[in-house]
């Protein structure tokens, strides 16, 4: 259980992947295409995308790799570096959402002979076909592919599900000669997650993975779906200057694992935000408007928050304060003020704990350890805060020292959970990444 940093994907990772797909397909390794689909972090904008808030994100230089060759027919054959078994289906099979297929039995018949774990990991590929079919895309060519995450990395809290969905979309589009713009793929991946898998999340993850650019902060208004890239001052002329080299991103892993779709806390918080919005809109005579907090003016919240139950008031407080932190953070990033940017990240983490009330004891301990680590500028949970990891921005010169400090301190407080992080690093040192692409 150590500390790790390095380039991604490395030539050896790509070679190994191409060789694996060549063995599976009987084709030449030079024919293998690779989708690079990075994980994302969200420095500011926690838990407000589903309410139409403004969020910030950037990708890191770790993620999902999907090596594939187009089939000579409609057959899809997939293997995974993480799960056993093989997923097989055809691109011309009609895919139905999981909650529908349980009642009508169609997909259940297809899956019934297969191990449950294998069926689950194959759902993202089937979901990609579902989304593409929904929009009438002509799909005639399947793929033979092998998918894997960055070696030894627990991806909890890094939007791995969106990275996987996007990887499959890009592979099927490439195999079928479809030209699809990033904003369309954001919508397709939303369909995979919301409609096919039944997860009530927003579109931040997909947007970050598809729209990011190295060294920039991606800002998205989740209500208007408008985005912009905020460049730090030193990289405006297309060269990485001081800011690009001034920080590293630390990912500290808790050893906790739980999928969002199985955690009632995530969907319950979304419902609480909507309930708060509904009551605030009623109080201001706007009940006909969709009940999301982005439709509530901040002054309306201030005027009527006393009418909300304590829990609902906290959820709304988090939304309005986090939205404000995002706007301040974008200004800090654009002016190269990493100190202020870090302080806003830490405040976001605190609001997630106190107002949004996510995070369990190990994650909160990890957050507090990061804040004491040498050179750390700011920290918070990464992802939904119901599992996974914490992220921090750290002074590049002190990244190794900070990582060792965090690893040692967390081991003292949570020896059992820390012992679960046996396949990879307890703390990962990353750089900013780029957008998803086929190479």
> Which residues carry out catalysis?
205
Q: What are phi and psi of 231, to 5 degrees?
A: -90, 140
Strands 3-4 and 226-230, sheet pairing = unpaired
Strands 437-438 and 33-41, sheet pairing = antiparallel
Which token pair is 404?
């060792």
Q: What are phi and psi of 68, to 5 degrees?
A: -155, 160
In contact, 375 and 402? CB cutoff 8 Å: yes
Tell the residue number behind the tokens 């060549």, with chain if given: 22
Rounded to a whole number of angstroms, the distance between the first and last alpha carbons of the chain is 31
CA distance 334 to 182: 24
DSSP helix/strand/coil, 222: coil
In contact, 346 and 378? CB cutoff 8 Å: yes
CA distances from 153 to 150, 356, 422, 423, 425 (A): 6, 27, 10, 8, 7
Who's near 179: CB < 8 A, 6+ residues apart?
173
CA distance 150 to 157: 14
Stretch (H or E) spanning 333: helix 310-334
């Amino acid at each position: 259980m150590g500390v790790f940093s390095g380039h991604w994907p490395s030539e050896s990772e790509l070679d190994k992947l191409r060789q694996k797909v060549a063995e599976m397909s009987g084709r030449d390794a030079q024919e293998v295409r690779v989708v690079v689909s990075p994980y994302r972090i969200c420095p500011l904008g926690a838990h407000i995308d589903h309410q139409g808030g403004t969020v910030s994100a950037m990708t890191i230089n770790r993620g999902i790799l999907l090596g594939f060759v187009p089939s000579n027919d409609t057959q899809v054959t997939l293997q995974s570096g993480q799960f056993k078994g093989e997923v097989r289906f055809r691109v011309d099979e009609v895919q139905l959402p999981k909650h529908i297929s349980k009642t009508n039995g169609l997909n259940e018949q297809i899956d019934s002979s297969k191990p449950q774990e294998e069926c689950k990991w194959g759902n993202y590929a089937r979901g990609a076909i579902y989304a593409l079919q929904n929009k009438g895309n002509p799909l005639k060519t399947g793929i033979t592919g092998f998918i894997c995450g960055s070696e030894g990395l627990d991806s909890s809290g890094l939007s791995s599900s969106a990275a996987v969905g996007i990887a499959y979309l890009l592979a099927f589009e490439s195999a079928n000669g479809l030209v699809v713009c990033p904003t369309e793929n954001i919508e397709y991946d939303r369909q995979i997650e919301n409609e096919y898998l039944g997860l009530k999340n927003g579109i931040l993850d997909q947007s970050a993975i598809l729209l990011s650019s190295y060294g920039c902060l991606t800002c998205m208004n989740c209500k208007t779906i408008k985005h912009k890239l905020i460049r730090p001052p030193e990289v405006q002329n297309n060269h990485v200057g001081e800011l690009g080299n001034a920080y590293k991103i630390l990912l500290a892993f808790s050893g906790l694992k739980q999928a969002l779709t199985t955690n009632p806390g995530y969907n319950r918080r979304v419902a609480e935000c909507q309930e708060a919005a509904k009551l605030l809109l009623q109080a201001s005579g706007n009940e006909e408007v969709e009940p999301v907090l982005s439709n509530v003016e901040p002054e309306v919240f201030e005027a009527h928050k006393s009418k909300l139950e304590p829990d609902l008031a906290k959820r709304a407080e988090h939304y309005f304060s986090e939205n404000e932190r995002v706007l301040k953070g974008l200004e800090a990033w654009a002016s190269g003020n990493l100190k202020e940017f870090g302080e806003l990240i830490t405040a976001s983490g605190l609001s997630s704990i106190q107002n949004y009330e996510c995070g369990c004891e190990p994650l909160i301990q990890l957050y507090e350890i990061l804040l004491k680590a040498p050179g750390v500028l700011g920290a918070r949970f990464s992802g939904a805060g119901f599992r996974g990891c914490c992220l921090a921005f750290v002074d590049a010169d002190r990244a190794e020292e900070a990582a060792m400090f965090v690893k040692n301190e967390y081991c003292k407080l949570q020896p059992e959970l820390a012992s679960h992080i046996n396949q990879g690093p307890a703390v990962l040192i990353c750089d900013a990444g780029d957008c998803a692409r086929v190479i």
